Structure 1
């Protein structure tokens, strides 16, 4: 009988720092992420963090950037549905999934004013947003195939994103008397209504 040992790759110090900071963010929001708390979680001194991240803002930005990249991969997979319309709806549903799974990270990424935030239209048209690119590209594909009315796909993508984000923000602010299941149904129905307005 052979016994196999599975060796997990060791995390580098920056990876450990990011993992610890992400856990703090998930549990207590951006205010909970301090260099001291992260250092304690990793087992290093606070000064050691500065060898990898110049300041707290850089650490928070990296958490957001990594999260966007991960979400974009999921959006890309869902958007590849053979039905362009359903691919778009699935991608925007994942935006809700992200908000419900990581509410503190969602708030920091989209509801707090940040100097380094991407701004519409220039940054988005320059394809600096991995998540937004998925929606704009899918809309452009639908327009090219005659499924959607011709328009600027970037403008339409921002309109859809604004609708989805606005509903989620209102729900998180307690403005809906719905449980999560009821809100999800309302959210998707609202997006379907918006899609009806751009269909050919």
Structure 2
């Protein structure tokens, strides 16, 4: 079996364990059992557990950025900005453990605002900032620092999702989605030109 195919199998097994039980469920022994290898064989493909978890996080960022970019073609720029925030919510609810690890947990290599984001090291916030810039250039959003505005939008949506997932809303998912949309619309009204 080729090295890339084995690495992919290891990564898929690790992600499945992660999806079921979060980062603490990912062990070299559990992965090895799932793919039919010895635990030591995994180290030929990933130097340690942290590297494997980092790869899962990186892939998660790329996955959500890909979905955002796909919904970011043509049409009304404000509608696209709202669509990006819906995808973020969809991802958080569909993949709670990946969401937490990627966006809510301290990690050694996590990007820091503002320098890492302004240097375009965030595959996710790059998409939001680009739409903010486009909306500003079209006269749809007030002038201002696009990265600060993108971070404000992210902080707002992330905060709502974190509160919902922590049980701070009595809404069911449908009701929460309605509230989320209305809250985001209120925020956007404040920055629309």
TM range (shorter): over 0.9
Corresponding residue to 2:42 among 30, 46, 49: 49
1:127 to 95, 99, 120: 120
2:106 counterpart SS class = coil
**What's the counterpart of residue 30 of structure 1?**
23
Summarize deviations over 1:15-38 as a string: whole Å, max 9, x none: 000100000010001000011101
Moved over 4 A (4+): none
- Give 1:138's aligned residue: 131
Q: Give 1:177 shift.
A: 0.2
Equivalent residue for 1:177, pick from 170, 174, 179:
170
The answer on 1:88 being equivalent to 2:46 is: no
What is the SS of the residue equivalent to 1:162? helix
Q: CA RMSD in A?
A: 0.9
Q: Which stretch has the larger CA shift, 55-64 or 75-84? A: 75-84
Is 2:102 the counterpart of 1:109?
Answer: yes
Higher helix share: 2
Deviation at 1:64, TM superposition (A): 0.8
How big is each residue's C-alpha offset from its partner over 1:89-110, in whole Å with a ceiling of 9 and x where there is no partner? 0011100000011001111111
Q: Secondary structure at the match of 1:114?
A: coil
Following TM superposition, by how much is the alpha carbon of 1:81 offset from its aligned partner in structure 2, in angstroms? Answer: 3.9
User: Could you state the TM-score of these two structures normalised by the residue count of structure 1?
Assistant: 0.93
User: What stretches of structure 2 of length at least 5 have no aligned partner?
Assistant: none
Per-residue CA deviations over 1:71-102 (Å, capped at 9, x if unaligned) read 11110111224100000100111000000110
What is the TM-score of this pair, normalised by structure 2?
0.96
Distance (whole Å) between structure 1 residues aligned to residue 8 and residue 94 of structure 2: 21
For 1:118 and 1:34, the matched residues in 2 are separated by 25
Match for residue 199 of structure 1?
192
